[in-house]
Amino acid sequence: MKQKLRDDIRECWHCSRETKEKFVPGRTKIQYAGAEYDEKEIIAMLDAILDGWFGVGKFSHRFENQFSGFLGAQESILVNSGSSANLIAVSALMSHQFPGQLQRGDEIISPAVTFPTTFNPLIQNGLRPVLLDVNPSTYNIDAEDLEKAVSPRTRGIMIPHTLGNPNEMDTIMDFARDHDLVVVEDSCDALGSTYKGKHVGTFGDAGTFSFYVAHQMTLGEGGAVVTGDPDLEPILRSIRDWGRACVCPVCRVSLDPDYRCPLRFQFETDTLPDDYDKRYVYTNIGYNLKPVEFQAAMGLEQLKKLPRFIAARKSNFSRLFEFFEGYSDYFTLPEALPGSDPAWFSFVLTVRENAPFSRKDIVMWLEQHNIETRLLFAGNIIRQPAYEHVDCRVVGELENSDRIMRNAFFIGVYPGLTDEHLAYIMDTVRTFMHKATGEGGAP
């Protein structure tokens, strides 16, 4: 029966591909991102559903092991989103079980150009953000600016690799060691990006990743935290799983219903009865941020395709960069640091202040021609209404962050873009630039 279902899925998938509408320039929408999958992911999810266990189990355990292997990380903890990954990473550093426990009111350095759920866990845990301006070409902080931000209250750095572009991690980690700071790398945009041959997300105390549909691979939703700290790993699992004391990577009961855990009634505490079930002992104030098994099953298939996805993103980015170099008088182009190899999330452009057109002009032109655009997340986050009264310390004037908020946008580089898509994007931009500047086409 299972094999027949698998065969039927393959047949349905191939039929759906055959009937898929062809690209029509100007009529077919070019998305900035999209899920790339085939019948293998669908069959894997079906197998997980038919396996009969929906909670974290063997598929999640396999995914965590393989994801760690891809990154060269010691431990991975699978969660239900990248935002949840950021939340438990910061929350774990606040745990009484963490040897370097952060305290409410401690300062954490982070860039002003960011995503809300990079910033929010700091506020939610009672920490005080210290905001630095970003470099106008890398969209990350300049590592040498960290010295301007540090104070006696500074305890950590929350550092996103914006749009997949790696930060200067050797300098940042040296600074963190010199000042005894914890480091969380938000690598949600940056799966597959490396700095000096090492995957981003594996430099700091914890690294976070997202498997939302727009990212380098997808589980539909989903995320992960990686760490090399043996003290941090069980705390991360505990906070993901309601805060409970039982933090085995996978519960044997999910694999074998007849299994009897020898440690189940052996947790010692001064405040509970001696026979209290360890599965109902809570050592942290946690959440329920677990994924489901069929997400992990999809992820196992996506991991097989990930090198191809990353290569396609790099290729698409390179082609767009070569094209937009012809218009560098009008746009600030994205720039990667020496030694970095980004697996780009998107292609970002900032309209120069002296350009004869605005961001709104070119964004509206692209959208009217069915080319999706997005702004650079929250821009300067302290300008957002939700953060008007948040207690934070701002270093400098944040001029670049404000300029990015006013003038930056991005288009896609995801693997679903074809040669036809890229050619149409370039033709559409070329036409706009001719109208806006009176100049001929770009080389």
Catalytic residue list = 215
Q: How is residue 69 written in tokens?
A: 């292997």
Burial class of 406 by CB neighbour count within 10 A (0 to 12, 13 to 18, 19+): middle
Long-range Cβ pairs for the range 48-52 (8 Å, 24+) = 48/293, 48/294, 48/296, 48/297, 49/293, 49/294, 50/2, 51/293
Given the structure tokens 């950590």, which residue do they identify? 156
Residue 411 has what DSSP assignment?
E
The helix, strand and coil proportions of the chain, stated in percent and rounded to the nearest 5, come to 40, 15, 45
The string over 242-251, giving b where at least 16 C-beta atoms fall within 10 Å of a residue's C-beta and e elsewhere, is bbbbbbebeb
- Beta strands, E only, 228-358: 331-332, 340-341, 346-351
Residue 162 has what DSSP assignment?
G
Would you say the C-alpha torsion 13, 15, 18, 20 has a positive or negative sign? negative
Residues with Cβ < 8 Å from 11, sequence gap 6 or more?
none
Q: Are 77 and 286 in contact (CB under 8 A)?
A: no
SS3 of 277-325: the string is CHHHCECCCCCECCCCHHHHHHHHHHHHHHHHHHHHHHHHHHHHHHHHH
Angle CA 372–387–236, to nearest 5: 85
Given the structure tokens 């944040």, which residue do they identify? 398
Read off the amino acid at residue 26. G
Angstrom distance (rounded) from CA 40 to CA 298: 8
* H or E stretch at 95: none
| Beta strands 223-227; 206-210: pairing state | antiparallel
Would you say the C-alpha torsion 65, 70, 74, 79 has a positive or negative sign? negative
Residue 407 has what DSSP assignment?
H
Give the residue among 214, 216, 219, 225 at the shortest CA–CA distance from 300. Answer: 219
Q: Are 66 and 319 in contact (CB under 8 A)?
A: no
